[in-house]
Amino acid sequence: MSIFVDGGVDIQLVANAVAELNRDRRVGGQNLFVGQVRADAHPEGVVTGIEFTAHKEMADAAVSAFLKRIVGHDHVEPAESAAASLSDTPDENPDGPLPRVFIRHGLGHVPVGGAPLFIAVGTERRDEAFRICREILEALKSEAPIYGKELLDSDGHKWKVNQ
Amino acid sequence: MSYVCLTDDDIALISCGGTDFIDNRGAPLQDERMTRVKYFGPLMELTGTDEEQLEIAFPITVAKLRVTLEHYHPALAGESFRIAVDAVMRDSDTTLSAAGEIACLPAFAGG
């Protein structure tokens, strides 16, 4: 499935992912990363939001490739439905392969304070949860053709550069 | 449609056009001779477009394709970007016999 959503990532999706992992009796650790648009002050103006664009086909293919390398599969979990989070019954036969991975990236306008990126990883133990989440984050930044135009309060803009 | 004909020996761009190929129902129609060229990130501003149709003389190496694009869009000269052909990143010495889509990709900035 595609990692892309219109606008910022809905924080309800974060809750859904946590709830979904809560129901997976194989999981002993969750690690979550939420990227947030920061009000950077540039000489040209202060950032009010970021307009994200991407080569979606290539970015989704890049995600598939780096997930196979990092976690041994390329299954990105769905979490758009709140139905799963409403059940507190442990799932005896969870569908997703371990480590379980949620990734979403926003496209279009994301205002300051909004979340253009969400990664959640569910693993058996904590060390791999931290490591895998970090590796996915760095791979996404370096391998997926995604671009951000920082919109400034001066009505100008500045192209985002990853540090 | 506008055409630009370039005769420089180093240049492999035969013509270019907008997206005004229209079928009889008014839908855009892809001219089979044309290759879709997409520009991403700051390259959209430098070229003034995110997508255009160019007629490119194949076979062509990726290096020569880059020179061709820089000749057509002088603002691209000196810019750092990679070229993907049909969604696969290609090295500069790769020879292309055809391409449905060419993507010009500067440094990624997601997250």
Q: Domains of chain A by range and CATH?
A: 4-83+95-159 (3.90.1170.40)
Strands A146-152 and A4-6 turn out to be unpaired
CATH topology (fold) of B13-105:
Ubiquitin-like (UB roll) (3.10.20)
pTM of the full predicted structure? 0.88
Whether A126 has its CB under 8 Å from any CB of chain B: the answer is: no
Inter-chain CB proximity B106 and A53 less than 8 Å: no
What's the mean pLDDT in A120-124? 98
pLDDT band of residue B4 (cuts 50, 70, 90) is very low
Q: How confident is the model at residue A132 (pLDDT cuts 50, 70, 90)?
A: very high
Nearest beta carbon to residue A147 from set B84, B87, B109: B109
| Phi and psi at residue A124, to the nearest 5° | -70, -40
- HEC-encoded secondary structure of A25-82: CCCCEEEEEEECCCCCEECCEEEEEEEEEECHHHHHHHHHHHHHHHHCCCCECCCCCC
Q: What is the pLDDT of residue B25?
A: 52
Please report residues of B whose CB lies closer than 8 A to that of A144: 108, 110
pLDDT at A75 over 80: yes
> Confidence class of residue B17 from pLDDT cuts 50, 70 and 90?
low
| Residues on chain B touching A117 (C-beta within 8 angstroms) | 110-111
Instruction: Inform me whether the C-beta atom of residue B3 falls under 8 Å from chain A C-beta atoms.
Output: no
Selecting from A142, A145, A148 the residue whose C-beta is nearest the C-beta of B105 gives: A145
**What distance in Å separates residue A47's CA from the closest CA in chain B?**
16
Q: SS3 for B74?
A: helix
Residue A11 near residue A17, CB atoms below 8 Å: no
A157-159 vs A146-152, strand pairing mode:
antiparallel
Concatenated DSSP letters of A110-139: EETT--SEEEEEEESSHHHHHHHHHHHHHH
**Is pLDDT larger for residue A83 or for residue B99?**
B99
CA distance B25 to chain A (A): 28
Please state the domain extents for chain B.
13-105
Residue of A34, A14, A33, A30 whose CA lies nearest to A123: A30
Chain B nearest-CA residue for A8: B111
CA atoms A146, A12, A111, A34: torsion sign: negative
For residue B86, what are its two tokens?
A: 């049909």
